Structure 1
């Protein structure tokens, strides 16, 4: 008998499935510690917003209202557990910071750091940064975007899921103001080369150095990811681009 195959419109047939959209995260559910839950309950209503609400229009995307001022605005895509995010915000009081993250314990930990340091220049957004950038962030409204140690998806068959792709970089080049920056860092060598190729192909971005690689800036705090990479012998590469 001939081999049975599903109909062409069968969702179980891989050929019938639409291409997978690249998102800025993989959502892993995790429980909060008691301290994280207290921080969430106290500070999320004050310093946090759901990306889904902003994209749907249920709440306005309005950084000037959130911060109560008009100041340079930097977005970090994937703030992790927030140690470097909070440190950078504390070191740059004249700049407002948007930290976009989906991992609830990381958000709660960042909220704890915000409260402990008394930071007023940092707002946390929970959800997909890619959708937020496409749907709500105005053209030329960001002074900088930071993408530090995104998921490397090291297996070759998974590399299409990596965040730094031509479509996203094109959106970032539009959302960053002229003279603004795109700063990336990774500890995976082939991902660093991919970042270099993708950003180098975007005509609106100019590398800060002739070869594209940036010496590690002293102001970027060392995260647990970076410390682990050093222990495991992986070189960390930074890339910095200016919007023309």
Structure 2
């Protein structure tokens, strides 16, 4: 849990187009952050407090988990919780301008899957260019994921889930696993937002895209 003083400093929504987040994140030294950087990698874009990636890393020790989050206090808190793990790491950065540099620096073929879960909705039309799932992000994932690689999307807002899916469907390098929303996540771990939404009896809109 974050201390109360830190919670007050964490903004719920961060504008990725502001100058503060305009500098791309340099790629890390993979050998320094993972015990074995050749293990299959799952990328969680918008990892928030990191609870999903940390729990997944504990359950899947033969995989590496990388969380990318734009709110720095959340990254710092997640990294502290992951200190004892050698297969989980968190980066503070803007996915819209840092993803290419990070992923193209990976050992070839290690990225096997990615997730984008409950991203900031940015409801107003003039703000939708701030949404994380933009054509360039989809293109970068398509460049790095091997055939059969997967991208899992979910949101508690149907219009946001539809828009994310549209960006992947438009690319042509991905095929949706089912035309209908998935009844359950393919992962054994729920995000914090997912657990709260389901506990309230509200729907979650999920889709899985596979690299062709």
TM-score by length of 1: 0.68
**Alignment partners' CA distance in 2, 1:179 and 1:83:** 26
Q: Deviations over 1:145-165 (max 9, x none)?
A: 111111011233322321112
Q: What's the offset of the Cα at 1:223?
A: 2.9
Assess if the C-alpha contact under 8 Å between 1:142 and 1:176 holds in 2. Answer: yes
Runs of 5+ unmatched residues, structure 1 = 1-29, 34-51
Assess if the C-alpha contact under 8 Å between 2:181 and 2:207 holds in 1. Answer: yes
Partner residue in 2 for 1:126: 92
**Alignment partners' CA distance in 2, 1:129 and 1:31:** 27
Structure 1 residues 54 and 217: alpha-carbon distance in aligned structure 2, compared to 1, 3 A threshold: closer
Q: Secondary structure at the match of 2:147?
A: strand
**Alignment partners' CA distance in 2, 1:136 and 1:110:** 19
Assess if the C-alpha contact under 8 Å between 1:140 and 1:178 holds in 2. Answer: no
> How many equivalent pairs are there?
191
Q: Secondary structure at the match of 1:135?
A: helix
Partner residue in 2 for 1:24: none
Assess if the C-alpha contact under 8 Å between 1:32 and 1:104 holds in 2. Answer: no
**Alignment partners' CA distance in 2, 1:54 and 1:197:** 27
Assess if the C-alpha contact under 8 Å between 2:35 and 2:86 holds in 1. Answer: no
Compute the RMSD of aligned alpha carbons: 2.7
Partner residue in 2 for 1:77: 45
Runs of 5+ unmatched residues, structure 2 = 8-22
**Alignment partners' CA distance in 2, 1:229 and 1:156:** 25
Q: Secondary structure at the match of 1:90?
A: helix
Structure 1 residues 110 and 196: alpha-carbon distance in aligned structure 2, compared to 1, 3 A threshold: same
**Alignment partners' CA distance in 2, 1:223 and 1:145:** 14
Q: What's the offset of the Cα at 1:105?
A: 2.9
